[in-house]
Amino acid sequence: MKISEYAKYDGLGLVELVKARQVSPRELAETSLAAIDKLNGEINAVIGKTPEEMERTLGQGPSSGSFEGVPFLIKDIGAHYANVPMECASRLFSGYASPHDSELAARFKKSGLVLVGRSNAPEFGASISTEPVKNGPTRNPWNLKHIAGGSSGGAAAAVASGMVPVAHANDGGGSIRVPASCCGVFGLKPTRGRQTWGPDNDEFMFGFGCELIVSRSVRDSAAMLDATAGPDVGERHMLPKPSLSFLEASKRDPKKLRIAFSTSSPPGAPALHEDCKRAILKTAKLCEDLGHEVFEAAPDITQEESCAVWRDAAAPFLAAVVREFCQATGRKVAKDNFEATSRALYEYGLQMRAVDLVDVLNLINAVSRKLGKFFQSYDLWLTSVMTSPPPRLGVLNANEEGLSADGWIKKIMDVAAFCPIFNISGQPAMSVPLHWTEDGLPVGVQFAARFAEEETLFALAGQLERAQPWINRVPPLSALSTDK
């Protein structure tokens, strides 16, 4: 199979070829690796291949899973495969690998995915740009001078360029939606508790973190959530099952929806770039043309609230993870193994008191109640994902000395002002690739829904995809223009 032919398909499209015996899982894996070899030198999305895990899967023979034979990347943070390095893009964690699968990784395996490599991320996922000192920056395949987003930047760049059709991603403050926006792919952050973090954690960062994938098509993300959703044994979170599969929801037009939209940033955040405003207005008009009602409205959530919550949740969580790792390994945090802003967050987290954490939990509740009240009047809220198109590499330098925890959080949240709101509330939200700037940079739009209503998001996303397809819109650096 030629690389350019392989890159035409989404994940489920490749499955159809496998089921029809037009191509084998091994041929797909080898073609994916060839695409990585051709493209990764410039993009730097893939930080390592996983030949032993790939051969283990291929050696098992045919799978009954919904993603049989589909090449896949695991992010360097979050869900983990046994004995596959998960270094959190940190020099401190170099060489670390878990001895067991996380439950989500086990479900990825059961779905038939073939792991071919690991994707790049910022150190500990604490940035919206993937520029770790350990691995070097991931570049945007639409323009190599710009960020691919973070923290799932390697995943999004690999999918956008056609190295793999789907890749693992997770989101604690925008880390699925921001890179999806930057790279012109689809990314949905599920509802809190929809995916398991077991067996290692009950939840990630006080419930902020969610896991799924980034994909070129809506149906791939929907089918992947069908394949992997649900609690692990012993968990506290039990969400109601959807009335129909997420894949089926993505194939059906939604009911007439009441959609609020806003072209203004949250109070205290930078004003929206004109391209972001245009993206919102064009999308609102498209929704109206599709029969939905649109209203200009926004909840009363300030940038100060979002930054304070994220800082006071992320910092103690990071501090606890790093302290536990250092105690287990004997390693120590130092300037030559820990980036400057990671140190700032780590030190801030160590200094927090139990009463400070109670304060932030109370603020999380207050923000969530405001959003709950807003969504009593509207089915969805449409915003930009970011306040600007993808910035240039180097603007969001996580190794910049002198930045406080406050300063770093404000710097990254000023670019992703609309994202952390829904990590705080736990509501599902997605980035949909419907707009590009005149010079060819993607600008995603975000839709958020009520708690546990991914069905509504997938139904609208499928409708938008049918009305304004994006899968054939590919970056200049793409496997579609590369032959073996």
Return the H-helix or E-strand segment holding 221.
Answer: helix 218-228
User: Does residue 312 fall inside a structural domain?
Assistant: no
User: Does residue 397 fall inside a structural domain?
Assistant: yes
pLDDT at 237: 77
User: Does residue 427 fall inside a structural domain?
Assistant: yes
pLDDT at 292 over 60: yes
Q: Domain with 414 in it: what CATH number?
A: 3.90.1300.10
User: Does residue 374 fall inside a structural domain?
Assistant: yes
Q: Is the pTM of this model over 0.95?
A: yes
Q: How far apart are CA 276 and CA 454, in angstroms?
A: 24
- Report, in this order, helix, strand and coil percent for the chain, each rounded to 5: 40, 15, 45
290 touches 463 (CB < 8 A): yes
List the domain range (segments joined by +) for residue 107: 3-302+366-481
User: Does residue 335 fall inside a structural domain?
Assistant: no
- Please name the amino acid found at residue 161: S
User: Does residue 76 fall inside a structural domain?
Assistant: yes
Provide the domain count of the chain. Answer: 1
Q: How confident is the model at residue 483 (pLDDT cuts 50, 70, 90)?
A: low
Q: What is the pLDDT of residues 227-265, one digit of tens each?
A: 999 999 999 878 988 999 999 999 999 999 999 999 999
The rounded mean pLDDT for the chain is 97
How would you label 330-350 residue by residue, b for 16+ Cβ within 10 Å and e otherwise? ebebeeebbbbbbbbbbebbe
User: Does residue 223 fall inside a structural domain?
Assistant: yes
Task: Give phi and psi for 413, each to the nearest 5.
Answer: -75, -25
Q: How far apart are CA 53 and CA 82, in angstroms?
A: 9
- Please name the amino acid found at residue 37: D
Tell which residue, 58, 114, 59, 128, has the closest CA to residue 81: 114
- Residues with a catalytic annotation lie at 75, 151, 175
Q: What is the pLDDT of residues 9-57, one digit of tens each?
A: 999 999 999 999 999 999 999 999 999 999 999 999 999 999 999 999 9
Q: What is the pLDDT of residues 207-235, one digit of tens each?
A: 999 999 999 999 999 999 999 999 999 99
58 touches 72 (CB < 8 A): no
User: Does residue 161 fall inside a structural domain?
Assistant: yes
384 contacts: CB under 8 Å, gap ≥ 6: 272, 276, 277, 279, 280, 418, 443, 444, 445, 446
Residue 149 buriedness (CB in 10 A; 0-12 / 13-18 / 19+): buried
